[in-house]
Each structure stands twice: as structure tokens, then as C-alpha cells.
Structure 1
């Protein structure tokens, strides 16, 4: 479960869409709850809908990480111009 839930929780955390504690139990609880809402709302089509949202979350997470790296590289994280 950790190996499946961890990367999803990390993407949500990095994207800024969710504040999730870093404990494996908290990550698993978040992901299970998130996926169950899709199953309840969309039935057999849950995987497609969750996948669509997850693609956007991953893209946002990658952009956020890249922005932080850029800020660190240019000194922006320390308030320098």
C-alpha cells in the first residue's frame, strides 16, 4: 500500500492541493479516502475520473518543484534579487 499511496500523496502535497502529514499512515488514509470518493461518485468509471484529476495534480506538482528549484538557483528563496 505504501508504494502505491506514497507517490500520489507526495504529488498532492507538492502541488499544494492538500496538506498531508508525512507519516505513511496519513498518506494512505488520504489516498484511500480520495479514491473512495471517486468510486462512490462514479462507480465503475472511478479509475478514469481519478486518473484525469491525478494527471493535473502531477503536472501541478512538477511545476511547483521546478519553480522552487528555480527560486533556489536564482537566490529567490533568500529574498535576493
Structure 2
């Protein structure tokens, strides 16, 4: 059976049944402190302070507003048409509302930027060309 980890004496004490708390209150906090410390000595891994969850590999919490990020986020809806056309030819289902098309284009470019900040433009162009070629091949049949 695995024991529960507590951050401090108060957490441990609050988790005890009320009857046990009453006994410990009668014996003063000195007994409770001794019991808590004894538990920590027996299971040192329980005494370790918890760490915040580690970020998942590749997770981005914040990105700097670089010229490339400004370029991507500054795309106006009418600038997105060629990107959206290629994405559709590549099989993406994108609503025809301008804001949906703009969001899809920006999302596509931003994901490439986050994956490879040095070569994202080349990667975007290569993938769009491949999608457009695939779509045109499919329509020629």
C-alpha cells in the first residue's frame, strides 16, 4: 500500500479522522510533529517537495514576438487565399468564412514556425507545393 504524500504537517493532520485529530490535539502538537517527522524519516521520498508538472516535449508556453511571428500573425484574410487553396487541395476541410480561412492559414504557418524557426518559410512553401500537386493530380484523374 502506498502512503499519501503531504506537503506539511497541517495537510497530514487535516487528512486524519476527527477522532485521531482529537487525540493528537490532547497530546499537543508536539506529538503530531514527532509523528510527522518520523513518517518523513521512514519514507524520505514522501518528504520531497512536489515539483510543478514538467512541460511536455515540444510544448511552448510563450514565444517571442519576432519579425517572423509578426509576419505570420499579421496576415490579412485576403493574403491567405493561396495558402487555403493549397490546404484544401491537400485534403483539409476549411470553412469558407474569411476568418476561418485566415485562422487556418495562420495556424499552418505558425506550426511550421514553432517546429523549425530557421527554415519555416521554406518548409511552408514545400508543403504547400506538395499539397497543391497532390490535389491537382487527384483532380486530373
Is 1:19 the equivalent of 2:117? Answer: no
1:61 aligns with 2:135: yes
Root-mean-square deviation (CA), in Å?
Answer: 1.4
CA distance in 1, matches of 2:134, 2:121: 20
Contact 2:86 2:129 in 1 (8 A): no
Q: Distance in 2 between matches of 1:14 and 1:55?
A: 10
| Structure 1 segments (4+ residues) deviating >4 Å | none
Structure having the higher Rg: 2
- Could you tell me which residue of structure 1 aligns to residue 56 of structure 2? none
Q: Which has the higher helix share?
A: 1
Query: C-alpha distance in 1, partners of 2:89/2:125?
Result: 17
Unmatched tracts of structure 1, length 5 or more: 68-81
Gaps of 5+ in 2: 1-75
Residues 13-71 of structure 1 show CA distances to partners (whole Å, capped at 9, x for unaligned) of 1332x10000110000011011001111100210011111111011122223334xxxx
User: How far does residue 5 in structure 1 lie from its aligned partner after superposition?
Assistant: 0.7
TM-score, length basis structure 1:
0.70
Q: Provide TM-score, normalisation by structure 2.
A: 0.43
- Show the counterpart of 2:79: 4
